[in-house]
């Protein structure tokens, strides 16, 4: 809660500013008197507010005093007397909270906090002695604060996480004045609990980025990441707590300091909380915008990769078509299988060259002109070798050996015909090789073949 309740002194009136300064210097002097001089360096505005409310609840006003300022020893400042109950109580509560803060940091694993805890232990004991003299049961305070780490480890809801802070401040506020009845004491406890909730939730909003970076618990986070739903829940509870706190404060019967306390608690503090809420809402909006941009960039990358893969595939297919077209144009078979030969061949025809009148320029089917009988015989003769009169292309099989032919030319050979001349003597009706595209090149059964 340190520094959360710092007021804007420029927005206070002259009398309110003087009142606040008297209590501020009074708490500083009280730390030097009741604890030690070093502890004056830890003075916080939260302790000053506690002293303001305590002094306002007292039936009799405390006496004024003057003290030498440690920052400017030549200057004496007006203060509330350091021996007044409100000042002693505020300094003791402040010192004890610092001691508990060191203990909490040690549990979080901060190594330097162990040094501070040892250094502050004697000061904490002085604060415990002062509070015990006012009837506080410090065992309840220390037991309650010790539960904080267990509650945070259990994954609590927003109100469960802030409950311990509410109970501690409700207990401290209930003992703020000793000359009040039980009804006012209950109102003070309720008011203190709401102050604790507002402080805890405001601190949670302020520490979002730090807790994400360091991996600490925060009611606005889920699994270490910012959770917009939980943030909205925290904001809703925070605004409701501010309204309830204002209502509870106005029900208190303050004999003095009413104006300055109301200015701080009901005007300046809610305004500061709203600024913090606006900052967190901007953070959530910015995170959502970054997430959207990351998703859009990922989708753009995927789309670009898909487009490039299709583009490269189309280029590869175009090269294959051109290669096959040129091989056909030069009379070379780039593919000898029946599947390749039955597939239409496409070639890019730019500008309409070679198209018939009225045809659309573009891809066209390439078909070789049918060969004459003399050209086929000449081609067959050029392909023959000395190994028993086998006719075949050096890169491919003849293709007719898959047929059910009765002429006996295949002789069980699955690759080449042993005597293709048999087919040209008599091609009976059972010869089904005439339906294949290559039989005319190997068998010369030109009378029965209509394959062209």
Residue bearing tokens 């703020």:
176
pLDDT of residue 258: 92
Domains of the chain: 9-284 (1.10.600.10), 373-442 (no CATH)
Write down the pLDDT at residue 40.
Answer: 92
- pLDDT recorded at residue 152: 84
pLDDT of residue 180: 78
- Number of Cβ within 10 Å of residue 159's Cβ equals 13
What is the pLDDT at residue 195? 93
Secondary structure (H, E, C), the chain: CCCCCCCCHHHCCHHHHHHHHHHHHHHHHHHHHHCCCHHHHHCCHHHHHHHHHHHHHCCCCCCEEEEECCCCCCCEEEEECCCCHHHHHHHHHHHHHHHHHHHHHHHCCCHHHHHHHHHHHHHHHHHHHHHHHCCCCHHHHHHHHHCHHHHHHCCCCHHHHHHHHHHHHHHHHHCCCCCCCHHHHHHHHHHHHHHHHHHHHHHHHHCHHHHHHHCCCCCCEECCEECHHHHHHHHHHHHHHHHHHHHHHHHCCCCCCHHHHHHHHHHHHHHHHHHHHHHHHHHHHHHHHHHHHHHHHHHHHHHHHHHHHHHHHHHHHHHHHHHHHHHHHCCCCCCCCHHHHHCCCEEEEHHHCCCCCCCCCEEEECCCCCCCHHHHHHHHHHHECCCCCCECCCCCCCCHHHCCCCCCCCCCCCCCCCCCHHHHHCCCCCCCHHHCCCHHHHCCCCCCCCCC
Task: Give the pLDDT confidence score for residue 65 in this predicted structure.
Answer: 92
Per-residue pLDDT at 101: 84
Query: What is the rounded distance in angstroms from the CA atom of residue 410 to the CA atom of residue 400?
Result: 9
Model confidence pLDDT, tens digit, residues 365-393: 444 445 555 555 555 545 544 444 444 44
Res 411: pLDDT: 46
The whole-number pLDDT of residue 310 equals 85
- Residue 199 has φ and ψ, to the nearest 5°, of -65, -45
Segments in the chain below pLDDT 50: 1, 334-369, 381, 384-448, 451-452
Phi, psi for residue 363 in degrees, rounded to 5: -80, 140
Structure tokens that stand for 30 in this block:
């009280």
C-beta atoms surrounding 399 within 10 Å: 22
| pLDDT for the residue numbered 4 | 67
Can you give the pTM of this predicted structure? 0.63
- pLDDT for residue 354: 42
Alpha carbons 231 and 237: distance in angstroms, whole number: 10
- Positive or negative, the CA dihedral 351, 355, 358, 361 is negative
């Amino acid at each position: 809660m340190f520094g959360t309740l710092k007021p804007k002194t420029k927005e206070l009136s002259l009398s309110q500013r003087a009142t606040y300064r008297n209590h501020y210097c009074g708490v500083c002097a009280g730390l030097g008197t009741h604890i030690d001089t070093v502890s004056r360096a830890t003075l916080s505005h939260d302790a000053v507010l506690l002293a303001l409310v305590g002094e306002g609840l007292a039936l009799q006003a405390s006496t004024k005093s003057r003290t030498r300022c440690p920052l400017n020893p030549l200057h004496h400042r007006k203060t509330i007397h350091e021996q007044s109950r409100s000042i002693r109580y505020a300094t003791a509560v402040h010192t004890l909270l610092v001691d508990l803060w060191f203990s909490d940091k040690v549990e979080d694993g901060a190594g330097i906090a162990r040094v501070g805890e040892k250094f502050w232990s004697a000061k904490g004991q002085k604060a415990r002695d002062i509070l015990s003299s006012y009837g506080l049961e410090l065992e309840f305070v220390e037991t309650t604060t010790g539960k904080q780490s267990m509650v945070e480890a259990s994954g609590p809801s927003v109100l469960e996480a802030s409950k311990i802070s509410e109970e501690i401040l409700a207990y401290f506020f209930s003992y703020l004045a000793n000359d009040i009845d039980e009804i006012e004491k209950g109102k003070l406890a309720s008011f203190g609990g709401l102050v604790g909730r507002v402080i805890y939730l405001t601190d949670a909003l302020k520490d979002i980025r730090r807790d994400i970076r360091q991996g600490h618990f925060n009611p606005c986070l889920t699994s270490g990441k910012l959770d917009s739903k939980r943030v909205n829940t925290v904001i809703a509870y925070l605004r409701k707590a501010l309204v309830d706190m204002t209502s509870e404060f106005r029900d208190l019967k303050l004999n003095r300091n009413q104006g300055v306390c109301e200015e701080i608690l009901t005007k300046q503090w809610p305004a500061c909380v709203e600024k913090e809420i606006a900052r967190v809402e901007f953070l959530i909006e910015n995170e959502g915008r970054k997430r959207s941009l990351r998703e859009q960039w990922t989708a753009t990358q995927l789309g670009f990769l898909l487009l490039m893969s299709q583009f490269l595939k189309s280029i590869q297919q175009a090269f294959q078509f051109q290669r096959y077209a040129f091989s056909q144009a030069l009379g070379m078979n780039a593919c000898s299988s029946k599947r390749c030969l039955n597939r239409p061949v496409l070639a890019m025809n730019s500008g309409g060259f070679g198209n018939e009148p009225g045809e659309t320029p573009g891809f066209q089917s390439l078909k070789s002109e049918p060969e004459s009988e003399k050209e086929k015989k000449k081609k067959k003769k050029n392909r023959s070798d000395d190994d028993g009169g086998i006719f075949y292309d050096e890169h491919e099989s003849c293709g007719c050996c898959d047929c059910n032919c009765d002429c006996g030319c295949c002789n069980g050979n699955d690759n080449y015909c042993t005597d293709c001349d048999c087919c040209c003597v008599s091609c009976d009706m059972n010869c089904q090789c005439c339906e294949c595209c290559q039989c005319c090149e190997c068998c010369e059964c030109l009378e029965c073949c209509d394959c062209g």
